[in-house]
Amino acid sequence: MSIKVEYLGMSLSIDELDGENLAYFKHCAEHNFHLQACADCGLLRYPPTTACPWCMSREARWQPVEGKGAVHAYTEVHHAIQPAFKGHTPYLVLLVDLDTQKGKPSEHEALRVVGNLTTPDGKLAPPDMVKRVGIGTRVRMVFSDVGPGLALPQWTIDEAARQPDKPWRYPQE
């Protein structure tokens, strides 16, 4: 069954033929983070796909994965292209290296999960929080409830983790 909801006044939908994403977001709706683990080579993958990107196997099972990691890269958006985001600038789009499977299958690889920086309750982060985050910041996954059957995986500062003294940020001001 397809999912259709509204987020910040925009319509979001996942088609019923998109089986991998429906399964992925079904777990997210329950605030659980699951990824596909390949039944042949055992590697996890993200984003959800039909076949393993490393061994091409189509057999996989869903496995719970810890939503913790460090910021690998970020974009700080000051000029929102989509009108729905205009009231939320500046906001961050984060690419986060999960601790799970970091450095596999090669030393340069990791499961890199995209999301916005949010408060612990899943609201887009205010400017003073945005300024504290850069490459290396430790984050944990939280979920933004969007509507029936859909929650978006997002990232918030992991206050319990040891943080880098000065996460790398673009020079500003």
| Residues at the interface with Zn ion (CB under 5 A) | 38, 40-41, 52, 54-55, 57
Please, what is the minimum distance in Å from the beta carbon of residue 48 to Zn ion? 14
One-letter amino acid at 56 equals M
- Pick from 71, 42, 46: which is nearest to 55 by CA? 42
CB of 43 to Zn ion, least distance (A): 5
Q: Which residue, 61 or 162, is less far from Zn ion as judged by CB?
A: 61
Give the integer Cα–Cα distance in Å for 46 and 144. Answer: 19
Q: Tokens 């997002």, residue?
A: 154
Task: Report yes or no: 78 and 85 within 8 Å, Cβ to Cβ.
Answer: no
Closer to Zn ion by Cβ: residue 55 or 161: 55
Is 129 in contact with 157 (CB distance < 8 Å)?
A: yes
Please, what is the minimum distance in Å from the beta carbon of residue 117 to Zn ion?
32
Max intra-chain CA distance, the chain = 51
Distance CA 40, CA 166 (A): 41
Q: How far is the CB of 59 from Zn ion (least distance, A)?
A: 9
Q: Which has the closest alpha carbon to 43: 137, 93, 110? A: 110
**Locus of tokens 């993958």:** 45
Of the pair 52, 111, the CB lying nearest Zn ion is at 52
Q: How far is the CB of 46 from Zn ion (least distance, A)?
A: 13
Q: Which lies closer to Zn ion via its Cβ, residue 101 or residue 144?
A: 101
